[in-house]
Chain A
Amino acid sequence: MIKFANVSLIYPNSTTTVLENLNLEISEGEMVLVIGSTGSGKSSLLRLINGLVPHHTGGILAGDVSIDGISTQLVKPGELAHLIGIVGQNPVNGFVADTVEEELAFGMEALNLPSDVMRKRVEEVLDLLSLAALRSRSIATLSGGEQQRVAIAAALVTHPKVLVLDEPTSALDPIAAEEVLSILHRLVHDLGLTVVIAEHKLERVIQFADRILYINGVGVTKVGTPEEILMDSPIAPPIVHLARALGLKEIGVSVREMRRMTQAFRTKDFLRATHSPVSGDTKIISVESLGITYAGYRALKSISATIYNQEIVAVMGRNGAGKTSFLKAIAGINQPDSGKVRVLDLNPQNLKGKDRRSAIGFIPQEPSDLLYGQTVLIECTQADADNDVAVGTTATLLDQLVPGVSLQMHPRDLSEGQRLGLALSVVLSANPEILILDEPTRGLDYQAKRELVSILIAFAKNFSKCVLLATHDVELVAELATRVIFFADGEIVADGSAIDVLLSSPAFAPQVAKVMAPHPWLRVADVIAAVENS
């Protein structure tokens, strides 16, 4: 269906090859996963499939990419629209119409299909993706998972033979991600759809993939079954790290396989590690019966919580459960309708300017919302000046967080990880008492996530401050958090040490915990520690 023959690619004004001599044939009904660190060329590869690269971006393409026998050299991307459905990284950016039904019809309008066909196909795809209940809803009011399903439906409605998805689950909570992936899995099996998918969160997709294409960042690619590729790939989900740590000869890509492989191991006796909850004794944040209502919708219903220094608190829960509202109320952005919020015994809403920056560092879901400068350098010098620190402090901080960011780049041209690093160093240059992050790992690769984890732990432990983060990423929470507050429908349903909360709910348990249940281990490091202690 898709054939790459000796494909190499260079972008104009660039000296590094994005891809070098890629040979790959993807047959009908195959699901191929593209992995690689940020900026390694995953998106370029996906865009090669429908000819957007190089027709819209320019560049030198050697070799040939052909889809269903049509070479992308010979036709413009528009002429492949009926063959290929493409779903971008952020579905909201791709929506054209206001309501679900209209959005679904839009693609077919562009292909000039007769209206009776359009009607039929809209119904069909609404059923296929279980969207019938949402058909007349406004897209803006849908949750992240629902929007992602609408985007997939809009791509499928033209009956493409190939579906290309760029990080379809990065913004979703584990359950919504599962839902989207199982629908894709079903489409591959029921309709023989060919799916090419790029994703950072391997733990979510790996079990669905037939083959993996690994791009190492300097153009070299490797193709193989998940087991072959993950055996020695530096990019691997926790489950594979676990297999390596235990010295298994084979690796399993699903929890089921790994449980079978570790049966003997799990039956051994281990000393129960004692967990001493980490927290300081200074009360930093106190929230008392906080309630927030948006246009009649009660986002938060009487929330109370106290957070101490040295704590790293993960705020979890479904999309729309009230996580962001909670963080914004603590940051003083949202006006509480009832109850009160105190940060260091001050009302965060009254903090202004420098006092505010030195008390609360807030990084919103989209870190570029904080970045206004034309270049990274302007951003850094501005932060130095704002916070009365020595010239170059922010730039040095940035270099520690994410080395090798060019100071002349425009902040919006940076990769997700670099942008987060920049926003983080701008915020940290004010040396705030608390750091609040909303969904920091969206679009981050494993390497960047490891960096983030070590920065945040150092911030909380070494400087005795506290960190609050909202996230869907259970693996990150397992690595990082000392405490988890779990939200559902505007209420706190669980609040306790990370290990207690994560182990109590199977959907939100990290992979290692699922494999090793009933042993209370969250991370590969916990397993290794347990082995060493016994």
Chain B
Amino acid sequence: MKNLTSDIVRFSYKNASVLALASVLSAAGFLWPFFYVGTDLPQTQLFFWGAVGLAFLLVVLEISSARLDAKSVALLGILSAVIAALRPLGAGAVGIEPMWFLLILSARVFGASFGFLLGVVSMFASAMITGGLGPWLGYQVFAAGWIGLLAGSLPKNVRGRLEILMLTVFGVMAAALFGLLMDLQFWPWALASGTQLSFIPGGALTENLYRFLTFHLATAMAWDVPRAVFTAGLIAVTGSSVLSALRRTHTRAAFLTPVVFNERVRQQKEV
């Protein structure tokens, strides 16, 4: 009898397709203002909040019913707890959330599927801790999941300084992306209609896009720039030691190590 110790959580095709579906749904939740054809400001927000929540639930159900084994659960639990506890550390300060660097580094080591789960669970947990529950939570959770997913999908064979550089750049992009997405879910409701930056329901895509980007640049700099600088800075400074600690954990956890039950132990070596 020959088999392997359990793997770190990795989405099966079925899981991945559920995730894709949920992602499309929640992407729609973010992007609807650009494609909306009606003229009134719709009540679609309710629908999309529901959709995001449902997508989140769907993914969690799908994954927990599948193959999360003890080691993955332990890793996910501990890292989520650390990330969730790190988030409110910078509370009040503009966009300084010391959670992103750890999410990115963990996702880098443990892969895209784990990164997605970690983003989702840790964002959810930190909202529970800080009491930051609200309609925005679904969006935040998904955005964090995507950032984990993307960080885990970066090219594997980059190592050393280049790797830190790549992750630092990714940190800037992730911080910017998170800001962009958070603004997007909030923009249609943020301004009274009729200002120069307001969402025009049913307006032309280019017009709305232009207005949104202007809105984003005008409002978000105070949050996004510090967040990006802070995240990238943390990755650059702590990256190599945190990565090696996480990689060591990965090795010690012995994922996918052969388990062999044999007549004799030496048999294999003699061959």
A residues touching B (Cβ–Cβ < 8 Å)? Answer: 8-10, 12, 17, 20, 54-62, 73, 78, 374, 410, 412-413
Contacts and interface: CB of A to CB of B under 8 A. Distances in A.
A354 to B, nearest CB: 24
Interface stretch (B49-57, B115-123, B175-183, B263-271): B263-271
Interface string B242-265: 001000100010100111111111
B254 A8 contact: no
B134 to A, nearest CB: 28
B1 interface: yes
Contact of B254 (A17, A56, A73, A412): A56
A60 B258 CA distance: 8
Contact of A17 (B1, B70, B241, B265): B265
Contact of A57 (B70, B241, B254): B254
Contacts of B263: 62
Given A57-B5, A58-B254, A60-B268, A410 B261 contact: no
B166 to A, nearest CB: 21
Contacts of B248: 410, 412
- What is the predominant secondary structure among interface residues of chain B facing chain A? mixed
B257 A57 contact: yes
Contacts of B257: 12, 57-59
Given A56-B254, A374-B244, A61 B5 contact: no
Given A73-B1, A78-B70, A374-B241, A58 B258 contact: yes
Interface string B203-219: 00000000000000000
Name the interface size band of chain B: 20 to 34
Contacts of A9: 265
A58 B259 contact: yes
A10 B265 contact: yes
Given A374-B241, A374-B244, A55 B259 contact: yes
Given A56-B254, A57-B5, A374-B241, A73 B261 contact: yes
Contacts, number: 56
Contacts of B71: 56
- What is the predominant secondary structure among interface residues of chain A facing chain B? mixed
A20 B265 CA distance: 9
Nearest to A410: B248
Contacts of B21: none
A426 to B, nearest CB: 18
6 contacts: A57-B257, A59-B260, A61-B259, A61-B262, A61-B265, A73-B1
Contacts of A57: 5, 254, 257
B271 to A, nearest CB: 13
B4 interface: yes
Interface string B185-206: 0000000000000000000000
A12 B265 contact: no
Given A8-B265, A17-B265, A374-B244, A59 B70 contact: no
Contacts of A56: 5-6, 70-71, 254
Contacts of B252: 413
A73 B254 CA distance: 18
Given A54-B5, A55-B5, 14 more contacts: A12-B254, A17-B265, A20-B265, A54-B260, A56-B70, A57-B257, A58-B259, A60-B262, A60-B268, A61-B260, A61-B262, A62-B262, A62-B264, A73-B261
Nearest to A373: B241
